[in-house]
Copies of this chain bind each other. A is one copy, B any other.
């Protein structure tokens, strides 16, 4: 049972438009806060987008997601899960980025997430662009490679851009495989679509044994069938969940830098997360929300809703595993 001090402020007490905006209105507990050891799940902002190859802006993502997440309430509408009462959740603040130095910025993320990880906290990260995932994986997979369930319209498996740049938001999973942070046999990428430069990324996936599910396959087979396969691929080992908001159709999530038309709707965007129940989740992220391309906040509200779905899967599993321990 979660500590009372870790409850979000209720909209019945303080209207949702009032108060300082933390993720889900949870207590703000910095990495030096004495309450840190009590935290079970830590929401962490990664306001960094130096890997963006086209339209920038995800550096503003965490703040807008915090703002819109004040509209999230305490209980899941279908399952009745109350994640904040199940385990202790907190907003751990943002990792301070260095927008002017790509390498330094990645190190900062790795260090901060390593610290969180070593404190026994399961990190749920809010980007930032998809390159953010690489330094997070360096922190979480320092000992052994992780499985990956990856929702996206792009594979992000390219070798390099612009005449040799190895670190962009189109390359993180290529790097992660090369660095041994992910186990290709336990990787699945779901929702892939849009025009392609060439087949280099898919050739790499085929060579490594990474499973790619295109949007056509996803719609043909149905979400439940594909997610059953995803659970099987991930198996029982620790698995990372990476959710790029451009997985969702841009009518539902226009606030992103590299949209691809023809994706899932918002209902489906939530359903795939519900189907993660049973996966041994070691960490998760939600990336590529770009506020300058959706001032309305609708994309960020969808992102917050997806994050809550994640918490409703992770929190009970975490509580159960600890009871076992």
Residues of A within 8 A of B (CB): 10-22, 28, 45, 47, 49-57, 59-60, 62-63, 66-67, 71-78, 80, 91, 93-94, 96-102, 104, 161-163, 165, 167-168, 192-199, 214-216, 219, 249-252, 254, 258-259, 261-263, 265-267, 269-270, 292-293, 295-296, 298, 301-302, 305, 308
Contact = CB atoms under 8 A, between A and B. Distances in A.
Contact of A54 (B17, B63, B254, B269): B17
Given A96-B18, A98-B165, A292-B292, A252 B261 contact: yes
B50 A100 contact: yes
A91 B20 contact: yes
Contacts of A76: 195-196
A266 B262 contact: yes
Given A98-B165, A215-B267, A17 B47 contact: yes
B302 A74 contact: no
A295 B252 CA distance: 16
Contact of A16 (B54, B93, B98, B266): B54
A100 B296 contact: no
Contacts of A249: 251-252, 265-267
A contact face: mostly helix, strand, loop, or mixed: loop
A162 B47 contact: no
A198 B250 CA distance: 32
A91 B216 CA distance: 30
B17 A60 contact: yes
A168 B104 CA distance: 15
A74 B197 contact: yes
B296 A296 contact: no
B254 A100 contact: no
User: What 9 A-B pairs have minimum CB-CB distances, sorted nearest first?
Assistant: A292-B292, A100-B165, A56-B56, A262-B267, A73-B195, A261-B266, A18-B47, A75-B196, A295-B295
Contacts of A198: 74-75
A163 to B, nearest CB: 7
25 contacts: A13-B162, A15-B47, A19-B45, A20-B21, A20-B93, A50-B100, A53-B100, A56-B57, A56-B59, A67-B67, A77-B192, A77-B194, A100-B165, A102-B102, A215-B267, A249-B252, A250-B266, A250-B298, A250-B301, A251-B266, A252-B261, A261-B266, A292-B292, A292-B293, A295-B295
A83 to B, nearest CB: 10
B100 A168 contact: yes
Given A249-B267, A261-B301, A296 B254 contact: yes
A57 to B, nearest CB: 6
Contacts of A266: 249-251, 261-263
A100 B161 contact: yes
* Residue among A21, A55, A295 with the highest chain B CB neighbour number at 10 A: A55
